[in-house]
């Protein structure tokens, strides 16, 4: 549904959004794995819409063999392997750190089984944690290593188990490597998710032509950055059209215009990832640019952008109103 834009240019812009059980001051947050506590040295963390932590596991994990990262055209391929100091360390040391700031803390979790995911969601239902983001793109040892998010049945099962384990808002992060992301997203909704994050990295690889060896120690990795943006944008558009719960856009977002595109496609909020490695204050630039864009277009509330793409399903009078 397209909302008419009638506010005068230059008026103040409301950036507040309601996303998956949380009220955010603005729709911009980090993508899991691209944000850490040290960024408080280069930006005012209170300006972010939310914090999304690096994915944690219950036990200590050393991560994948090096090299873990390689560049490619318009992107980055990584195979980090979710190194983690464990749930207890995170709960005792990292949660208190974020308690000093105003944005809500969203904790990204990973686990090898349905029961383990549910137990992690339960054990992270503590003061200071505002929501759980379930990274169900990880291998599932109960299904011969297949990612939960590859299939609707597995997605609904693991989401439902976490839903029973915690009253916290539950966001489910999906993989673009499935054959039907809309079906998987609908399964997450059926399982009780409050929002879906679309999407994680795309499976990729590179080979060194001098050594004939893969450029990553784990051979395959996940492609992120500008190269994946058109694919992620398409997936957000498709999912937002079929879901009643919010979609959070993720994939190649580096500029305010990128954020606007994802919101027009139906995203209620966006996650900024790889570009933070290049420009640590990129999220602040996106927030400021999003506000400036709305002011320039006479948009009083950023929510008016959500799903406002003018496409074949948009009635002529609605298209005229938004333009």
Residues with a known catalytic role: 138
Q: Nearest-CA neighbor of 137 among 86, 184, 174, 185?
A: 174
In the chain, where do the E strands start and end?
Answer: 17-19, 22-24, 28-30, 51-52, 69-72, 75-78, 105-109, 131-135, 170-173, 195-198, 202-204, 221-224, 247-250, 269-272
* 14's tokens: 């409301």
Binding residues for substrate: 54, 78-82, 135, 200-201
- C-alpha span between 231 and 202 (Å, rounded): 9
Place of tokens 């996106």: 286
Nearest to 23 by CA among 130, 101, 99: 130
Known binding residues: 32, 54-55, 78-82, 135, 173, 200-201, 225, 251-252, 273-274
Annotated binding site for FMN: 32, 54-55, 135, 173, 225, 251-252, 273-274
Question: 275 with 286: CB under 8 angstroms?
Answer: no
Tell me the two tokens of residue 308: 């406002």
Alpha-carbon distances, residue 171 vs 62, 68, 162, 268 (angstroms): 26, 27, 10, 13
Residues in the chain: 323
Q: Is 308 helix (H, G, I), strand (E, B) or coil?
A: coil
Contact 50, 104 (CB under 8 A): yes
């Amino acid at each position: 549904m397209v909302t008419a834009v009638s506010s005068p240019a230059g008026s103040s812009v409301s950036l507040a959004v309601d996303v998956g059980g949380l009220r955010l001051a603005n729709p911009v947050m980090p993508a899991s794995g691209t944000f850490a506590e040290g960024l408080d040295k280069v930006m005012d963390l209170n300006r972010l819409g939310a914090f999304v932590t690096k994915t944690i596991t219950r036990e200590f994990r050393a991560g994948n063999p090096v090299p873990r990262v390689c560049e490619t055209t318009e992107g980055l391929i990584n195979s980090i392997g979710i190194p983690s100091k464990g749930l207890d360390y995170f709960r005792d040391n990292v949660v208190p750190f974020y308690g000093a700031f105003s944005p809500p803390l969203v904790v990204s979790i990973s686990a090898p089984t349905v029961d383990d995911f549910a137990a992690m969601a339960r054990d992270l239902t503590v003061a200071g944690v505002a929501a759980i983001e379930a990274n169900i793109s990880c291998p599932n040892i109960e299904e011969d290593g297949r990612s939960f998010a590859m299939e609707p049945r597995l997605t609904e099962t693991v989401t439902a188990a976490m839903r029973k384990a915690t009253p916290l808002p539950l966001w489910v992060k999906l993989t673009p490597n499935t054959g039907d992301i809309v079906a998987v997203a609908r399964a997450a909704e059926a399982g009780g998710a409050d929002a879906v994050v679309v999407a994680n990295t795309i499976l990729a690889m590179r080979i060194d032509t001098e050594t004939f060896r893969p450029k990553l120690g784990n051979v395959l990795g996940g492609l992120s950055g500008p190269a994946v943006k058109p694919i992620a944008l398409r997936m957000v558009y498709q999912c937002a059209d079929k879901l009643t719960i919010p979609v959070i856009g993720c994939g190649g977002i580096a500029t305010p215009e990128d954020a606007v595109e994802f919101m027009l496609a139906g995203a209620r909020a966006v996650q900024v990832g790889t570009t933070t490695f290049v420009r640590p204050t990129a999220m602040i630039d996106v927030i400021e640019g999003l506000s400036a864009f709305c002011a320039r277009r006479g948009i009083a509330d950023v929510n008016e952008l959500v799903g406002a793409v003018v496409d074949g399903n948009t009635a002529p009078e609605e298209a005229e109103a938004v333009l």
